[in-house]
Structure 1
Amino acid sequence: MSVTKHKVFTILLVEDDAGDVDMFLRTVEHELPRHEDEQVTLVINATAEGALERLQQQPIDLIIADVRLPGMSGIEFLRRVQDLNRRIPVIIVSWVHAIETVIDAMRHGAFDYIVKPYDTMDLSARIHRAMRMSEILLQASPDEPAAPRIPFKNLVGVSPPIRNVMAMIEAIARVPSTTLIIGETGTGKELIAKAIHERSLDSDGPFQVVDCTTFSEGTVESELFGHVRGAFTGAVADRTGLIESGSHGTVFLDEIGDLPANLQAKLLRVLEAGEVRAVGSTQQRKVNVRFIAATNQDLAEKVKRNEFRKDLFFRLNVMVIRVPPLRERTEDIPVLARHFIARYAKEFTKRVEDLHPSAVTELVAYPWPGNVRELRNVMERAVMLAKGDRIGIADVAGMLAVPDERQREATEEDYLHLPYAKAKEQVLEAFNRRYISTKLTIHQGNVTHAAQDAGLPRSYFHEIMRRYTKDEK
């Protein structure tokens, strides 16, 4: 009889109030959603000093600590934990009126905070989110040894979907068959094609990129197949086409779905016969090329609409790699972000070394419509503008293209159906919420600096902040 192996997830609770300890125990035992093979253990210390000793004695996956502790404070404890291991998420517990303390905690590395008195549903949801983030941070930790049998230089990731892609690359690289890579814009289809080429038998040959979206219909044939002198006005010399330039190597046909219809038949002949004929020539020339095509379109649907040749589709659709969008492999987001930080820190000669946990949260929560390309661009700008050694939430939040629903700008249609007084109230509330949140983000949670920037007394700014942002905490 086989025995199921349970993963043990250990939460360290630093709390000296017996009633609160009991609340956490009941929440962990009865309210917390978890995986079937997951066992959650709660270990308790009443002091920060004792908790630090516990950290030296056993692996801890998540820490929940009250701000008010006997002896060392929760904030000082948080600082010590950050020095020991930045990969352990820390949730700080605070009273509802202690907003400045909460902001201070977040600035010093807290993953999240919980406000007393507790709501059990909110408590379990926040702990569950931190548990899942702990798994991501553990997988993404640069201190972890590299995963075996993944010697990829630029294709980065640890998630099952991207590992499947890597396994496909390894399986088909040495088989000189036409390959079709399907995925959304920005998912890294060219990197995958290059990885296949680097593992192929012709890895010493050229890797020729043909972007089918960049040619005008009048020049694409010449670009692909070449031309001879005098073939058309301006053809003053023979020119080798991009396909022939890739001979004894790989030709990557990017966005093949945009190839003009009149050239699809000519490309099919190249794929089938391994020959090209330059524009204006009567001679066929042999080419020894491995073709990899990529598209972000549904080629089968284009075939149904008579927009893409069926025979070309089946000729391309031999080996297929489907690249998952970034939103379907969130485990890879911190890995990729750190990869780009290292690249651009070196390029810009800046001492930026890591991500703040709050920035990880922001990046993982974002849907990334532009996929890896968008993440790369965001991290490039973040490193370029960074002032410290870690990228924080303030460094990335303003660069994300899709705002949080709570910060969506209201349109006239949202208010026109309301009575005047009610509409005015909602417009003012939306403005205050967005204005205060923006100022706090700019000044990384520093209320004094945000108030000075807003030209308001600190006490008045604090009151507006308490009123309009409390439900976002």
Structure 2
Amino acid sequence: MSIKPVTDKIFTILLVEDNGGDVEVFLRTVEAELPREADEQVDLVIAARAEGALKVLEDRRIDLVITEVRLPGMSGIELLQRIQARDRRIPVIVISRVGTVDTAVEAMRCGAFDYVTKPFERLDLAARIHRAMRISEILFRYEPPQKGEPQTFKELIGVSPAIRNVTALIEAAARVQSTTLIIGETGTGKELIARAIHERSAERDGPFQVVDCTTFSEGTVESELFGHVRGAFTGAVGDKLGLIERGIGGTLFLDEIGDLPLPLQAKLLRVLEEGEMRAVGSVQMKKVSARFIAATNQELTEKVKRNEFRKDLFFRLNVMAIRVPPLRERSQDIPLLARHFMSRYTKEFGKYVNELHPSAVTELVAYPWPGNVRELRNVMERAVMLANGDRISQEDVIGLLQFTDQAKRAQGDDYLSLPYAKAKEKVLEDFSRRYIKSKLDHHQGNVTHAAQEAGLPRSYFHEIMRRYLRDEK
């Protein structure tokens, strides 16, 4: 995975506009309303014609283009098409006084990042520019893995602080033989993390034995875990090795440990504390030498309070805890993951799909991903499978993304009757509202901490709160 070095903090916006009054609005918006990262400078370059804009693009690095549709000479739509042919990583915001559906659809079809109509509301304009800036940063700074480049963590791909913290904890856990508890939502890659720990540990040459605690019936779970001897119960016609014994000398991954029945929790605790176990029906104790990693998508502390999980087992498992962030909290990793899955399924299906359009990346980044990385993988698999050409477009992605029932209830289905640009705006607004509320809830209403986790300046985070949560009680 290669990361382009950042040599400065200057973000350059090219504004293509022949109306002096509108240029003034942009200047005031950038100076007074536009949030920016620490030490980040915004350089606004002005061109009155599309032909001049193309010359600027030849002479210097441009991170974002904002263009009027109606220009003297070459139109803004044609300029958009030229930019797309030149470098698809540059987001383009198209603006016009003509708020027709046809213009919006044409702009989006040609790859526009966003579509804005005049007259502008400065805070709204600043929010749109800021969103485009962050997408541009992702597209320019983070490149997909190059062919033949070693993948240190295989599919555990990302450059976000959250995933970097996880990889650091993986390395730390692998160096010591202590139990590890991996906590995360469904689809975040908990088994992948467990395998990464195993592959870096002293037990790497031993087996990696998965024990899925959700798959056993109540009557067979003890035999499945600990094995049994012949005659232990009706139907036990021979000795059987349990899953724990099969993992001796390697790593035992106890998936969804929160679903393990209480009677078995006590026996598992003995294995962890004493390093020994006994098969069902046997009087002989067997030594167990293995690394134990458990995973759960539940809050075990809450289960302990309800007496549904043993406190002593929880503390024994929780020697080293790794919390896996949901995908919605590390959106800068989405382009890397999407391109990784695109490459994988291109090879698997024997197809030639070598491009993920920037506008498609925009849709992927904006989506909340209730199913996390697993859902993203499934979407990219279907996108490659259904692709007719050599690229995955914005329309392809929109057609595949399906909101969960919860998300549909949160935002309603009335956006389906709106023009595309308005519908997209409504969906993004609903997502922003849920995202900001989630961050505030997570930090008990502390705006400073919520803004820091979101990666936004506090003043801008507060403006989003004012805008989207003003009706919240």
TM range (shorter): 0.7 to 0.9
Give the TM-score normalised by structure 2. Answer: 0.81
Aligned pair in 2 of structure 1 residues 121, 145: CA closer, same or farther (>3 Å)?
farther
Describe the shift of the 1:143–1:10 C-alpha distance in structure 2 as closer, same or farther (beyond 3 A).
farther
Task: Tell me the equivalent position of 1:301.
Answer: 302
Counting only pairs closer than 5 Å after superposition, residues 135-150 of structure 1 correspond to structure 2 as 135-142=137-144
Q: 1:317 and 1:211 mapped to 2: Cα distance?
A: 18
Tell me, yes or no, if structure 1 residue 434 matches structure 2 residue 436.
no
* Aligned 8 A contact 1:11 1:64 in 2: yes
| Local SS of the residue matching 1:368 | coil
- How has the CA–CA distance of structure 1 residues 155 and 273 changed in structure 2, closer, same or farther, with 3 Å as cutoff? same
- The residue correspondences of 1:401-420 to structure 2 (distance < 5 A) are 401-402=403-404, 408-409=412-413
Q: Which amino acid aligns with 2:119?
A: P
Q: Counterparts of 2:410 and 2:387 in 1: how far apart (Å)?
A: 27
Equivalent position of 1:185 in the other structure: 186
Q: Which stretch of the first structure deviates more once superposed, 355-364 or 86-95?
A: 355-364
Q: Which has the higher contact order (CA 8 A, sep 6+)?
A: 2
Instruction: Give the Cα separation in 2 of the matches to 1:174 and 1:143.
Output: 27
* Amino acid in the other structure paired with 1:397: I
Equivalenced residues, count: 413
Aligned equivalent of 2:91, options 83, 86, 89? 89
Secondary structure in structure 1 of the residue aligned to 2:175: coil
The one-letter code of the counterpart of 1:237 is: G
Letter in 2 for 1:73: S
Q: Name the structure 2 match of 1:116.
A: 118
> Does structure 1 residue 160 correspond to structure 2 residue 164?
no
Please state how far the C-alpha of 1:353 moved relative to its aligned partner.
2.5
Q: Which residue is 1:80 aligned to?
A: 82
> How many Å separate the matches in 2 of 1:122 and 1:143?
35
1:376 and 2:377 correspond? yes
Q: Give the equivalent residue in structure 2 for 1:277.
A: 278
Cα 1:313–1:13 shift into 2, 3 Å: same
Given candidates 34, 39, 42, the residue that maps to 1:40 is: 42
**For residues 445-460 of structure 1, what are the structure 2 equivalents within 5 Å?**
none
Greater CA deviation, 168-177 or 115-124? Answer: 115-124
Change (3 A) 1:143 1:245: closer
The SS at the match of 1:239 is coil
Paired residues of 1:94 and 1:102 also in contact (CA < 8 A): no
* 1:235 alignment partner in structure 2: 236
Using the alignment, how far apart are the partners of 2:272 and 2:372 within structure 1?
Answer: 31
Q: What SS does the aligned partner of 1:346 have? A: helix
Aligned to 2:389: 388
- Please tell me whether the aligned partners of residues 6 and 37 of structure 1 are also in contact (alpha carbons under 8 angstroms): no
Q: Residue 277 and residue 406 in structure 1: after superposition, are their counterparts in 2 closer, same or farther (change >3 A)? A: closer
CA distance in 2, matches of 1:93, 1:437: 16
CA distance in 1, matches of 2:359, 2:170: 34
Cα distance in structure 2, aligned partners of 1:271 and 1:397: 48
User: Deviation of residue 315 (structure 1)?
Assistant: 0.8
2:180 and 2:322 in contact (8 A); partners too: yes
Residue type at the aligned position of 2:311: K
Q: Give the alignment of 1:300-339 within 5 angstroms.
A: 300-339=301-340
Q: Matched residues in 2 for 1:46 and 1:247: separation?
A: 72
CA displacement 1:121-164 (0-9 Å, x = unmatched): 222221111112222323443279999x9711111111110110
Q: Assess, with a 3 A threshold, how the Cα gap between structure 1 residues 407 and 293 changes in structure 2: closer, same or farther.
A: closer
C-alpha distance after superposition, 1:206-263 (max 9, x if no partner)? 1111100110111111111111122222222221111111111111000101101111
Q: Residue 30 of structure 1 is aligned with which of 20, 32, 41?
A: 32
Offset at residue 70 of structure 1 (A): 3.3
Q: Which residue in 2 is equivalent to 1:355?
A: 356
| Superposed CA offset, 1:100-138 (max 9, x none) | 233122111111122123232222221111112222323
2 CA distance for matches of 1:18 and 1:223?
76
Instruction: Name the structure 1 match of 2:289.
Output: 288
Counterparts of 2:140 and 2:33 in 1: how far apart (Å)? 24
Flag the structure with larger Rg.
1
1:40 and 1:249 map into 2 onto residues whose CA distance is 54
Letter in 2 for 1:105: A
Q: Deviations over 1:403-455 (max 9, x none)?
A: 5679614xxxxxxxxxxxxxxxxxxxx5xx635669x99xxxxxxxxxxxxxx
Unaligned runs of 5+ in 2: 1-6, 424-473
**Which residue identity is paired with 1:300?**
T
SS of 1:142's equivalent in the other structure is coil
User: Matches of 1:33 and 1:249 in 2, distance apart?
Assistant: 51
User: Percent same amino acid at aligned positions?
Assistant: 70
Match of 1:59 in 2: 61
Amino acid at match of 1:205: G
Rounded to whole Å, the distance in 2 between the matches of 1:301 and 1:354 is 45
Q: Is 2:144–2:340's contact at 8 Å kept on the other side of the alignment?
A: no
Aligned partner of 1:400 among 388, 399, 402: 402
CA contact 2:111–2:394 (8 Å) conserved in 1: no
